[in-house]
Every structure is written in structure tokens, then in C-alpha cells.
Amino acid sequence: METIKSGKNMFMDSTSRLLAKALDFRAARQNVIAGNLANAETPGYVMKEIPFEKELQKAIDDTTLKPVKLEPGYIKGNEAILEDAYDPNKLIREYGKPNELNIDSEMAKMSQNNLLYEVSTRLLSKKFESLKTVIESRR
């Protein structure tokens, strides 16, 4: 069997990389929401947001249409989805009008984001538990 030299961790399949990138985005979004809350009473402050879901879909669509060549004879397809994906901190966008922040709405966003972060963490953990089980069963 030929080894593919992609420079990536062999235990991180495309789903694991997707979940890991989702964690990066969720952490960055949490920081943005916290910043919004911290600046709730700052005169002229305009709320910020990271359009995570839109950018993730764009990354998936872009990669699906344009496979990336790694090594001679090897073209990566779906596993490329997030390797070259966007840096969440570069996606921070302003939205709304100055001083339009609704604290209750931002707190709800923070709670939802936290829940989705926990779900992604658990899914990634389960994937590694499955991998551990497979490895241990081969002994």
C-alpha cells in the first residue's frame, strides 16, 4: 500500500478536520459575542459577527468544485474542505447600527454558540474514542 504524503495527521479524516475547524469558529464567535456584550454601552459601537455557517458552506462548495493537487498522482477532494479554509478572525464583520445592541439577544447567541461548541467537542471526542477502540481491537 502506497503512503500518501499530504503532511496531515493520519488520524484526522475530513470529518474530524471539519469538527476541529468548527471548534475554531465557535471559539472565535464566542470572543466576538463577548466583545459585543463588553461594549454594549460604548457610544457608537457597532456589533460584530462571524458569518460561520455561510463561510463554511462556501468553503465546502469551493473545495468540492476545485480539488487540490498534493503530490504527483494524488488529488485530494473532500478532505481539502477546511485545510485551506478561512481564518475565523478574518471573517469578523460589523452589522447593525451603532448602539443597536440587544443584550438579551447577544446572551441567547452566546448560549447557542456554547451549546454548539459542546456538541462539536463531543462528536470529535466520540470519533477519537471509536479510533481508539479500533486500535485496541487490533492488538
pLDDT at res. 17:
81
Taking 90 as the threshold, does the pLDDT of residue 97 lie above it?
Answer: no
**Rounded to an integer, what is the distance from CA 53 to the centroid of its chain?**
9
Indicate whether this model's pTM tops 0.75.
no
For residues 91 and 93, give the distance between their C-alpha atoms in angstroms, rounded to a whole number: 6
CA dist list (Å): 45 to 39, 91, 99, 100, 101: 7, 18, 6, 8, 9
Indicate the angle between helix axes 14-38 and 52-65, nearest 10 degrees: 150
Taking 70 as the threshold, does the pLDDT of residue 6 lie above it?
Answer: no
pLDDT at res. 113:
94
Tell me: the pLDDT tens digits for 26-84? Answer: 999 999 999 999 999 999 999 999 887 776 677 666 655 455 555 555 445 544 444 44
Q: Name the residue among 78, 71, 81, 80 with its Cα closest to residue 3.
A: 71
